[in-house]
Amino acid sequence: MNIKSLIGKFGSGARSTNCLRVVVQPYALYFSPLEGVELPKRVSIESGDWQKILVETLTKANVNDLTIDVVLNSNLYQTYQIDKPNVPDEELGQTLPFLLKDLISEKITDIIADATALPNSNKLQVYVVPKALVFGLVQRLEKAKLSLGHVLVEDDVWGLAATDAERFVLLQRSKNSQYKVSAFIDNRCVFQRTIRGVTAPLVGVASSSLQLDGIALELQRSVDYLSSQLRGATLHHMKVCCDEENNDDLARELDERLSVKVSRLTDLPLESGELLTQYVADICDSGINLYPDHLRPKVERFTLNTVAAVCALIAVTLLGSYGYFTWQQVGLNAELSSQRSQEEQLKQQVQQLNQKLAKHKPSAQKVAAVERLKEEIRAKQDSLLAVSRFDDEQNVGYSGVMKGLAKLGRNDISLNYIKMSSDVLDLKGLAREPQSIPNWVNQFKNELNLVGRSFEKLKIGRNEQDVLTFELHTKEDKK
């Protein structure tokens, strides 16, 4: 599926929610269901003026402010096939009437044409409708406060009705109309022919056998013609949808007489108009539309009165804006003057305070004297701290050691020399026996002030009286 088709499907879905679809058949009008609108599904048009009956039906149902899409039956438009011109697509709709001037009897200014490209071909399938038909419908709908949306053709709808095939031949007949043969490729109508001189029904009566053989011959000719003309698109299936016929019997009879398979178009027991109503919502915006945009009345948005009103509104807005900003500027200027006055006062205060500060600023001599005094104070504080620390060491260390030695007094140990400092304890004395010395030293661990004291040197000897002497040194003397 290409992008254009995808966008078209979304567009169709959007229109189907706010558009009323009307299918025009030779014998009746069929209305698609629409929420909030109560209309009959079918209205007969025995008088033939379907436009008048359409407007009367809508008016009677109090339908207004709504867009109407109309699906025309094949009796209301003509089809032609022409070579595709070298014209941009957006200009094709306005060019088509000039391309058809040799094929139609009407004036090119009196017709509306639209076309679709034929698959596997460089030709266009052109649909033509009288301009008076479309414009007459537009005027009648406008009087009823309605607007015409799209003017569609039933050939586009029939192409979607065969849900099981995209390429097929269709034998179709609406009530009060002629038998019609159409060919569809990729759901697009590429061929259409009316079979005249045949009356319904074709099956179910004694005289129908001859008619059935005749129409079968015409159908076979059409199939053979299509097979020779449509290259690469062979058609092997024919569908049947005829009003006032038993489509099952008709399909069976034709299947026996034709070289292609024949079956009914749908299993739904519906008339052609009802069936078209079922599928009309699936038509996308890429289909035929015989009321193109270039024919719609243009809304003059920039009239003289509109431009004058807009200019007046802009002038009033500008004057109001100018007055507002002028008033705002006056207020801001007053506030600016007040701020500048305060600024001048603050500058004067700063100058006065700087002058006072200069008077209170100390001289360099005084600052130097203060620094010298601070240094002197810090030196004295350090001295006091050292003395205090020394006193603490003396009180804690020396007296404690002496008390501890006194507590450990023994009969076999006598001290006659003690040397102490913060990290030195040297002892000299007399001992009765050599083993008394280590026994005495081992008792240091029981005294708080002596615990942890260790000696690096022990010297034992005897004096002149032959008494045992010892010396304990915490640090070995340096030689």
Model confidence at 10, pLDDT cuts 50, 70, 90, reads: very low
The region of weakest confidence among 71-75, 265-269, 308-312 is 265-269
Q: What is the mean pLDDT of residues 444-464?
A: 82
Sheet holding 425-431, edge to edge: 413-420, 425-431, 468-473, 457-462
- pLDDT the model gives residue 367: 81
Contact 11, 69 (CB under 8 A): no
The region of weakest confidence among 153-162, 224-233, 263-272, 338-347 is 224-233
Q: Which fold has domain 3-295?
A: Nucleotidyltransferase; domain 5 (3.30.420)
Q: What is the mean pLDDT of residues 108-136?
A: 90
Is the pLDDT at 384 greater than 50? The verdict is yes
Average pLDDT along the chain? 84
- pLDDT the model gives residue 312: 92
Nearest 10 degrees: Cα torsion 340, 344, 350, 352: -160
* pLDDT cut 90: percent of the chain above it: 34
| Nearest partner of 157 among 284, 256, 1, judged by Cα | 284
- pLDDT the model gives residue 1: 37
Q: What is the mean pLDDT of residues 308-336?
A: 92
Contact 181, 193 (CB under 8 A): yes
Contact 189, 196 (CB under 8 A): no
Sheet holding 179-185, edge to edge: 188-195, 179-185, 168-173, 237-242, 261-264
- pLDDT the model gives residue 16: 43
- pLDDT the model gives residue 24: 94
Q: Is 265 exposed, middle or buried (0-12, 13-18, 19+ CB in 10 A)?
A: buried
Evaluate whether 3-295 and 387-473 have a shared fold. no
Q: Is 262 exposed, middle or buried (0-12, 13-18, 19+ CB in 10 A)?
A: buried
Q: Which residues contact 123 (CB under 8 A, 6 or more apart)?
A: 81, 82, 83, 84, 117
Q: Which fold has domain 387-473?
A: Gyrase A; domain 2 (3.30.1360)
Q: How far apart are CA 125 and CA 338, in angstroms?
A: 84
Q: CA–CA distance from 318 to each of 131, 308, 327, 329, 401 (Å)?
A: 49, 15, 14, 16, 105
Model confidence at 389, pLDDT cuts 50, 70, 90, reads: low
Each residue's pLDDT tens digit, 56-73: 999 999 888 899 999 999
Is the pLDDT at 206 greater than 70? The verdict is no
- pLDDT the model gives residue 121: 77
Q: What is the pTM of this model?
A: 0.60
Is the pLDDT at 368 greater than 90? The verdict is no
Model confidence at 434, pLDDT cuts 50, 70, 90, reads: confident
Is the pLDDT at 318 greater than 90? The verdict is yes
Is the pLDDT at 286 greater than 70? The verdict is no
Q: Is 8 exposed, middle or buried (0-12, 13-18, 19+ CB in 10 A)?
A: middle
Buried b (16+ CB within 10 A) or exposed e, 25-52: bbbbbbbbebeeeebeebbebeeeebbe
Q: What is the mean pLDDT of residues 103-121?
A: 88
- For residue 302, which phi and psi values (nearest 5 degrees)? -110, 65
Higher-confidence residue of 9 and 375: namely 375
Dihedral of CA 218/222/223/228: which sign? positive
Q: Is 59 exposed, middle or buried (0-12, 13-18, 19+ CB in 10 A)?
A: middle
- pLDDT the model gives residue 410: 83
In the chain, where are the structural domains located?
Answer: 3-295, 304-361, 387-473
Q: CA–CA distance from 257 to each of 252, 254, 341, 475 (Å)?
A: 9, 5, 112, 139
Q: What is the mean pLDDT of residues 385-409?
A: 71
- pLDDT the model gives residue 397: 56
- pLDDT the model gives residue 13: 41
Q: What is the mean pLDDT of residues 118-123?
A: 81
Q: In the numeric block, which tokens belong to residue 90?
A: 């957006």
- CB atoms inside a 10 Å sphere around CB 158: 26
Each residue's pLDDT tens digit, 150-195: 999 999 899 888 877 878 999 999 988 899 999 998 888 888 899 9
